[in-house]
Chain A
């Protein structure tokens, strides 16, 4: 790995030490002792990583941080802050303004280099072309802003858009949740105080939604809200910032949040990194004594002077162990402990209570609120260190266990999923096989029906006719009548067999869709009917622009049946009329064949489309009773609907729809 590391620190020792360490790691160090030099260095060359001290002779390091984050070309530069100020305030300021990490002095050079390289790698992963000539165009991130104040909403929107973000806004938590579900933004900024559901609730609800669980959320809090930070953490906010802060601070904090959200946040707590301890005590003397001793042991110690400060600090940086004094002004150690242990994200951090006096009741209260250990301030430092180490070890052990458990669980889930998929595939395959077998069976059945059942019928018919023709002189009228009846029955049975075979063939038929001119097809059918019955006078109306996306062969069968039926049932009408037209029914085109024949009782309409159901006497209107069943099956095959309307003596109308395969959501 190569790249320029700008090291800004007023201490020559620190500069030399870090320069040596970074050089050994293959990076090129640039050294500055104050802000002025640093600004010049930043304009003179590309800087890939910045190590920045807070207290500099000519100003505040955090100001430079702000400037860098505000400039589009440098806004995603990895920045690691380094400070001898052990207090929470600078750390909070640095991290909230957008520092990627914050390490206390005295530092561990190996760790600073390792962490710096980590940040560099993360950044290179984000922007694959670090040496790209044009300014890195950050991918457009859509941000959802939820705030009830129109002024603030617009101001923030403008600021975000200037920084290249896409912005959508909502005026309340309820609307925001709906918008988040509908638009899937990449990040969220929500006001903590709103009428209706507040910001923390919005975040909590988002965390319950599987699809939105990972959404980075920034909570805006009011200054006077004491436990705002805790509420934010509890709800699962990734970061929070005070609303009255400068807009540039809000933006920087937001940028830092979306950056870390896209990379692994675990990186900082690798087992090799120094352990960070948050020491919380109002008595400066004890902490001042404690901090250097722990630092000498290699711990990064952060000092907080009240429970409130501690909670604020925990909102921006994780620690490995918390040392908490019981007796403090403000919310006090016991209450701070209770709040920390109530937060899902902080619950697992070991917390050791410190007290000046042996006090059984305080001890019990403290442990009752979830403290992990309890020691007296008067104890030897060695004891304290041992306890801390024990707690950190325990936490590491638990983390490890949890990781292993999660891994096991997820691999078990994967295995179960794979097994289910396999079983499903097997079941499907065996079903398909069975279906194919059944289809073959049906095919061979219908083949033998068409072949073997017809042969005897042929004999019955043929020999009956032979008798009538060859032995007419020896058969009286009754005998000839009987033979004619035998022939009629045989022919009727043959017709039944043919119709049944057609019906079963349609069920198995593949629908080959094409544009079919139904009007022309209907005309062909009508011509055949006229040729077969030249004695009939029928007024036939066919609408001439009827088309359907359908199987031509099946449409022919359908029209053969419908027009054939209409033809048959108008046989006794004085002025037979048949229409083939289309109309709109429920926003869909329905074709219909209408006649003024004998009609049917609507009560029996349902039976019309069942095979072998006949509503008329076979001698009046000969037929097999399969025609309309065939029609319905053809229409079913096209995912359409079939229905009939009519009344006895006033004709029948059969409707059908042929939906377009791409329309109406039907397959």
Chain B
């Protein structure tokens, strides 16, 4: 199993996608960013099924940025299934959401999220969060060995 240096962004809101991509550009994160729009597509990508059947399932993303409120299958369910699968269970997952309900934070950590970041309204803060994410997960964090 090897890492593809890809960041998987699971987000249905196109504005948020655009702003997140811009934030990564601004903070010089040069990784490829794959964007999927709902929970089903996210799982298809991760497990190389459905429209992503041709992908090498052993190439796992460097980090998954996961929104909680998603169409079809919710973020927490995506997280649960991803953690249940041997090939994907060690992928760092950052839950990225606009809510800060205790319930969501607790469930995310219970299901094995590595981090929980609330999307700030203030774009400067958002940028900072994205930068920290990029720095931490792409630079500082030692990926788990094979």
Contact = CB atoms under 8 A, between A and B. Distances in A.
Interface of A: 447, 450-451, 454-459, 461-466, 487, 490-491, 494
A465 B15 CA distance: 13
A491 B125 CA distance: 12
Given A451-B69, A455-B13, A494-B121, A462 B19 contact: yes
A346 to B, nearest CB: 76
A461 B124 CA distance: 9
B4 interface: no
A463 B19 contact: yes
Contact of A491 (B15, B101, B121): B121
Contact of B98 (A450, A465, A466): A450
Given A454-B121, A490-B121, A462 B15 contact: yes
A458 B99 contact: no
Contacts of A451: 69, 97-99
A455 B121 CA distance: 8
Contacts of A457: 121
Nearest to A451: B99
A399 B100 CA distance: 76
Interface in B5-20: 13, 15-16, 19
28 contacts: A450-B100, A450-B101, A451-B98, A451-B99, A454-B98, A455-B13, A457-B121, A458-B15, A458-B19, A458-B98, A458-B120, A458-B121, A458-B123, A458-B126, A461-B121, A461-B122, A461-B123, A462-B15, A462-B19, A462-B22, A462-B123, A463-B15, A463-B19, A464-B123, A465-B123, A465-B124, A466-B123, A494-B122
Contacts of B101: 447, 450
Contact of A466 (B16, B19, B121): B19
A226 B99 CA distance: 92
Interface string B69-97: 10000000000000000000000000001
| Interface of B: prevailing SS | loop
Contacts of A487: 123
A10 to B, nearest CB: 95
Interface of B: 13, 15-16, 19, 22, 69, 97-101, 119-124, 126
A450 B99 contact: yes
A39 B70 CA distance: 102
A225 to B, nearest CB: 82
A455 B16 contact: yes
Nearest to B121: A494
Please give me the 4 A-B residue pairs with the lowest Cβ-Cβ distance, nearest first: A459-B15, A494-B121, A462-B19, A462-B123
Nearest to A469: B26
B51 to A, nearest CB: 26
Main SS at interface, chain A: helix
Contacts of A491: 121-122
B116 to A, nearest CB: 14
B81 to A, nearest CB: 22
Q: Which of A462, A465, A466, A491 has the most C-beta atoms of chain B within 10 angstroms of its own C-beta?
A: A462
A457 B120 CA distance: 10
Given A455-B15, A463-B19, A466-B22, 19 more contacts: A447-B101, A450-B99, A454-B119, A455-B13, A455-B98, A456-B15, A457-B121, A458-B98, A458-B120, A458-B123, A458-B126, A459-B15, A459-B16, A462-B15, A462-B19, A462-B22, A464-B123, A466-B19, A490-B121
Nearest to A466: B22
Contacts of A450: 98-101
B105 to A, nearest CB: 12
A459 B100 CA distance: 18
Contacts of A466: 19, 22, 123
A458 B16 CA distance: 8
Given A454-B121, A490-B121, A459 B19 contact: yes
A108 to B, nearest CB: 84
A464 B121 CA distance: 12
Contact of A462 (B69, B99, B100, B126): B126
Nearest to B103: A447
A458 B124 contact: no
Contacts of B120: 458
Nearest to A494: B121
Nearest to B97: A451
Nearest to B69: A451
A464 B69 CA distance: 24
Contacts of A465: 123-124
A420 to B, nearest CB: 41
A494 B126 CA distance: 14
Contacts of A456: 15
Contacts of B121: 454, 457-458, 461, 490-491, 494
Nearest to B68: A451
Nearest to B26: A469
A490 B19 CA distance: 16
B119 A458 contact: yes
Contacts of B22: 462, 466
B26 to A, nearest CB: 8
Contacts of A454: 98-99, 119, 121
B126 to A, nearest CB: 7
A464 B19 CA distance: 11
Which one of A447, A455, A464 has the greatest number of beta carbons of chain B within 10 Å?
Answer: A455
A450 B121 CA distance: 11
A499 B100 CA distance: 12
Contacts of A455: 13, 15-16, 98
A378 B120 CA distance: 116
A639 to B, nearest CB: 25
A466 B19 CA distance: 8
B76 to A, nearest CB: 13
Contacts of A461: 121-123
A487 B124 CA distance: 11
Contacts of B15: 455-456, 458-459, 462-463
Nearest to B23: A462
A201 to B, nearest CB: 69
A447 B126 CA distance: 21
Contacts of A447: 99, 101
B120 to A, nearest CB: 8
Nearest to B13: A455
Contacts of A458: 15-16, 19, 98, 119-121, 123, 126
